[in-house]
Amino acid sequence: MFRLLWHHLAKTPPSPPIAAAQTDGHAGEAVLVRPLPDGWCGTSVHMRHVDCGSCNGCDWELSALLNPVYDIQRYGLDFVASPRHADLLLVTGSVTRHLQEALTMTYEATPDPKVVVAVGDCACGAGPFSGAYACGTGAEDHVPVHLKIPGCPPSPAMIIAALRALLK
């Protein structure tokens, strides 16, 4: 174990730079579609992820934010395990029929004021399977969305940049 720790502290080359990993996010810029609610903290933001039927691509990019390369906690952003602790919901997936209720319940369980971010084309309402019978058409149909981050999936670098823009 110490060997591994030593190796990672001393021998591992510096983490690959963030800028090297931006190509998947070419779909467009993040857009603020609704003003942030009054009195929202804007610093030290606690985020809860809600998978509403994503293909897992967007989810993996969200969990990549926690790896040592992106290390999102250093920006004052972190993931929490319960909506009760959250200031912000990250929605991925097109909100499938089977998950509509779960999204609404999660939203209601989150204390006000809260911000909703749609991550990826699916959650933004432009997913690849729009029109399929159980697919749904994005987060906006069920909860008020503040920020849309397009991309299939958006790269971790793009997600970080968009989230940091929300901070005061």
Partner 1 sequence: MIRKVLSAWVSLKSDRQGNLWGTVLPEQGPEVAQVVHGQLGLPLTMMVAVDERAKSGVYRLTYLFSLIDKPAFLALEMAVDGQAAEYPSWTPAVPAANWHEREARDLLGVVPVGHPDPRRLVLHGNWPHGYHPLRQDAPSEVAATAPRRFSFRPPGEEAMQIPVGPIHAGIIEPGHFRFTAVGEQIQALEANLFYTHRGIEKWCEGKPVMTVLAAAERLCGVCSLTNSLAFCQAVEAIAKVEVPPAARYGRVLLCELERLYNHIGDLGNICAGTAVALGTMAGTRIKEQLQQLNDALTGSRFLRGILVPGGLRRPLAAEGIDKVLREVRRDAAMLADTLLGHASFMDRLDHTGIVDRATAWRLGAVGVAARASGIDRDCRRDHPHAAYHELRWQVPVHQEGDVAARLKVRIEEIEQSLSLIEQARAALLAMATTTTTTMKPGDWAAVIDEYPAGRGWGVAESPRGETVHWLEIDAQGLVSRYRVRTGSYANWPVVVAAVPGNMVPDFPLINKSFELCYACSDR
Angle, in degrees to the nearest 10, between helices 57-64 and 156-164 = 70
Q: Is 123 helix (H, G, I), strand (E, B) or coil?
A: helix
The length of the chain is: 168
Residues 76 and 42 sit within 8 Å (Cβ to Cβ):
no
Using the rule CB under 8 A, give the single segment among 6-14, 28-36, 38-46, 159-167 that binds partner 1.
6-14
DSSP class of residue 32 equals E
Please, are residues 46 and 87 in contact by the beta-carbon 8 Å criterion?
yes
- The binder of partner 1 chosen from 72, 93, 107, 114 (CB under 8 A): 93
Q: Closest distance between ligand SF4 and the C-beta of residue 58, in Å?
A: 3
Q: Taking Cα atoms as reference points, which of 126, 43, 150 lies closest to residue 159?
A: 150
Q: Does 160 bind partner 1 (CB under 8 A)?
A: no
Contact status: 58 vs ligand SF4 (CB under 6 A):
yes
Q: Rule CB under 6 A: is residue 51 a binding residue for ligand SF4?
A: no
* Residues at the site binding partner 1, with contacts judged by CB under 8 A: 1, 3-5, 7-8, 12-13, 15-16, 20-21, 23-24, 49-64, 66-70, 79, 81-82, 93-94, 96-99, 101-102, 106, 128-129, 131-136, 152-153, 155
